[in-house]
Each structure stands twice: as structure tokens, then as C-alpha cells.
Amino acid sequence: MSTSESTSWHDNIQSLQVDMTSYCNAKCGGCARNRNGHDITPGVVLEHFNLDIWNRLAIEDTKGIHIKELVINGNWGDGMMHPYLADMIATFAEYHPETSLYLHTNGSMRSAKFWKQLATTCRQFSNHMVVFSLDGLEDTHSIYRRNTDFGKVVQNIKSFTEERGRANVTMTLFEHNKHQVAEVRALAKSLDASVFTLRHSFGDNLQIIAPGENYMIHACNEIPEERSELHNKHRLSDIKNHMEHLDFADTIPEVETECPWLADRMVQIDPWGTVWPCCHISYHGTDVILEHTGEEATDENFVEARQMNNLKHTPLYTILSNRWYADVLPDAVAGEKWVVCQEQCFTD
């Protein structure tokens, strides 16, 4: 891959996916932050995304850039655990009202007041959606989504939508909940969710090992995935000209590249402030050992990148212009050198 203007990272990034924290209230069976749904994985440093760095990112580092999407997602934690999340979202909305905001959460934390206030803040963006995980009904939800409370999730969705927040109720399909799809879809509609999503599990067979518990969770792929629009009751935004921003985002030219994330003009930022080209690579940007070490899944350049690509001491634009992003990364993608890329994006 050439580092020409059409394929350079620093000239094309217009979407951010941010892992706001490595804290989480849940212990899901397939999560990298814990082992078999119990103990925290050795090497995971518990940290919230730095508030000052966030403000700089929103106000200075992305000044003059049309940020098409801001996705608050979690490789390592649930963004709703961040103590300053509402203020951080409000700051980003002030400086980037053009953005479409997407937040992913298990939804089993915070008060009704928080969720109502969050809905008000979300409507300051051109578009927004909060994705709530609801993996069955009261008797099945917590089998996978461990340490979460079904009733609290339901109440929080209701609080959010009552204040005109747009919710996507997402159900991960397993053998133990496959008979409840229609009921969860109906529940989502009764809660005034805008969308219901049914998705397959990322893991086929997940083992839970905890004090007094030892059981398997089996994926179910026999039922097709779906995305159902339930209603358009809630307006996308309180911004009168919000469609101008969304229409502008649709005019942004495509990037010719083999890398899906660069094609989407998106980078992943982890809770510790390091900027990675995708969520898959970001797993190997820490000292945490998963199925294999970061060096085996990538190469020795990742050791240097952990320091070189950190927002705590380097602005975003400088990171995306450095030697790692300008030379090392394009060369690795073009040559399909990294195991993680081969497994995730270059499979036949």
C-alpha cells in the first residue's frame, strides 16, 4: 500500500471508536477483560480515559475535522462506568454537533436521572443511538451477561426513551435464549426502542468458571441475524439543520484500501489513550496476553507503538502522521504480515 494522500491515515480519519474505561460491572463469558466470566485477566490495568486528554481531543486535536461518527464501545469495559461520561459527551457535542453518536452498554448501571439526562445530551448531536444489550428475558439474560440485572436494564431503557432517546435493543443469540427472540423483540417495541437487533455470538462455546459455577454457553447460528426498525417515534436530533450534517457525511469519498477500518475512516482509542487502527489490533496493543502474545500476532513494532501512539503526550494528528502509521502499518497491511489481520480481515 502506498502512503499517498488517498490512503494516508492522517488525511482520512473522520470517525473515532473509543474505549472509555477498563472498568465494567459485568463479567460476560466472552469478554477479554476477564477469564471464564470471573477473575480479571492478568495485565488489565483499571483506568478511566483521562478527562483532560478527552477535552483536548474534542476541542483541539479534531478541530476543523468533520467527525462523522463517535462510537463509544468496549473492548475492555463499559463506557457508562466512566464517572465523567455525561460531561465528556456534552463537550464533544458542543464542538462536534455534526457527529453521529453511538454508545454501546449493558445498561445495568446508573440511575433513571442519569439516563434521562444522557438522552437530552445525545439529542445535541446530528444523530444518536444507544445500544442496550438484552440477552433474553429475566430467566436467561444473565446467563451470559453475568452480574447484570434484567429489571434494571429494562427500567434504564425506559428512562432513556421517555426522554426521547433513541435506543437499539440488541440480543445476542445463544442456545439458552433462542426460544425468546419474539418476546424480546416485543419487549423492545413496548419500551419504545427504535431498533431491535439480533446477532450471533462471537464465540461458539464459552466456559464459565467461578466459585460454585462451572457451565458452558453454546452459540446458536441456526436463526439468521436481523435488524428490525420498530418505529421512528423519536427524532434523530434537536438540531434543526441536522440533516445537512448527515448529508455532508454521505459525500465523503471512499478510500481505496484493503483495510476495512481505513475504508471506514475510523481508528480505535483504548482506555489508556493509545490510538490503534482497529479494535482487533488494539487487543494486542496492551501487555495483556490473550490467545497469543501481541508480538506473535503482530510484530516487534507494537512494543514501540504502545508509547509512540499515546494521546497522553502526543496529539492525534501527530500520531496519525508518525512513522508507524505512515510506513509500518501500510506495509504490514499491504503484505498481510500480521496474524491478527489475516484472521480478522484477509480470510477467504
Closest CA to 112 of 157, 170, 147: 157
Write out the CATH class of domain 13-250: alpha beta
Q: Measured between alpha carbons, how far is residue 43 from residues 226, 264, 338 in Å?
A: 36, 31, 22
- Round the CA-based radius of gyration of the chain to a whole number and report it: 20
Share of the chain above pLDDT 70, in %: 93
77 — phi, psi (to 5°)? -170, -175
Residues with Cβ within 8 Å of 346's Cβ and at least 6 positions away in sequence, in order, are 258, 336
DSSP class of 79: G
Residue 88 has pLDDT above 80, yes or no: yes
Q: What band does 170 get if pLDDT is binned at 50, 70 and 90?
A: very high
**What pLDDT does residue 43 have?**
81
Mean pLDDT rounded to a whole number for the chain: 90
**What pLDDT does residue 241 have?**
93
Q: In which residue are the cell numbers 457508562 written?
A: 80
Residue 97 has pLDDT above 50, yes or no: yes
Strand-by-strand arrangement of the 15-18 sheet: 226-229, 195-200, 167-173, 127-133, 100-105, 69-72, 15-18, 266-269, 275-276
Question: Which of 93-102, 190-199, 304-313 has the lowest average pLDDT?
Answer: 304-313
Residue 165 has pLDDT above 50, yes or no: yes
Q: Tell me how far apart the alpha carbons of residues 282 and 288 are, in angstroms, rounded to a whole number.
A: 11
Residue 292 has pLDDT above 80, yes or no: no
Residue 259 has pLDDT above 80, yes or no: yes
**What pLDDT does residue 347 have?**
63
Q: Tell me how far apart the alpha carbons of residues 296 and 51 are, in angstroms, rounded to a whole number.
A: 33
Residue 5 has pLDDT above 50, yes or no: no
For 170, the enclosing helix (H) or strand (E) is strand 167-173
> What is the bridge-based pairing of β-strands 266-269 and 213-218?
unpaired
Q: Give the start-to-end residue ranges of the domains of the chain.
A: 13-250
Q: What band does 74 get if pLDDT is binned at 50, 70 and 90?
A: confident
Mean pLDDT of 192-212: 93
Q: What band does 7 get if pLDDT is binned at 50, 70 and 90?
A: low
Q: What band does 267 get if pLDDT is binned at 50, 70 and 90?
A: very high
pTM equals 0.93
In tens, the pLDDT along 27-41 reads 998 888 888 898 888
Q: Tell me how far apart the alpha carbons of residues 43 and 17 are, in angstroms, rounded to a whole number.
A: 22
Q: Tell me how far apart the alpha carbons of residues 181 and 329 are, in angstroms, rounded to a whole number.
A: 42
Residue 19 has pLDDT above 90, yes or no: yes
Q: Tell me how far apart the alpha carbons of residues 31 and 10 are, in angstroms, rounded to a whole number.
A: 31
Residue 239 has pLDDT above 80, yes or no: yes
Q: Tell me how far apart the alpha carbons of residues 169 and 227 are, in angstroms, rounded to a whole number.
A: 10
Residue 284 has pLDDT above 80, yes or no: no
Q: Tell me how far apart the alpha carbons of residues 132 and 117 are, in angstroms, rounded to a whole number.
A: 17
**What pLDDT does residue 101 have?**
98
Q: Tell me how far apart the alpha carbons of residues 44 and 33 are, in angstroms, rounded to a whole number.
A: 7
Q: Tell me how far apart the alpha carbons of residues 44 and 231 are, in angstroms, rounded to a whole number.
A: 40
- Dump the DSSP string for 224-276: PPEEEE----S-S-S-TTHHHHHHHHHTSPPP--S-HHHHTTEEEE-TTSBEE
Question: Which of 12-26, 156-170, 205-219, 326-340 has the lowest average pLDDT?
Answer: 326-340
- Dump the DSSP string for 197-238: EEEE-S-SEEEEEETTEEEEEEB--SSPPEEEE----S-S-S
**What pLDDT does residue 256 have?**
83
Question: Which of 49-58, 126-135, 190-199, 318-327 has the lowest average pLDDT?
Answer: 318-327
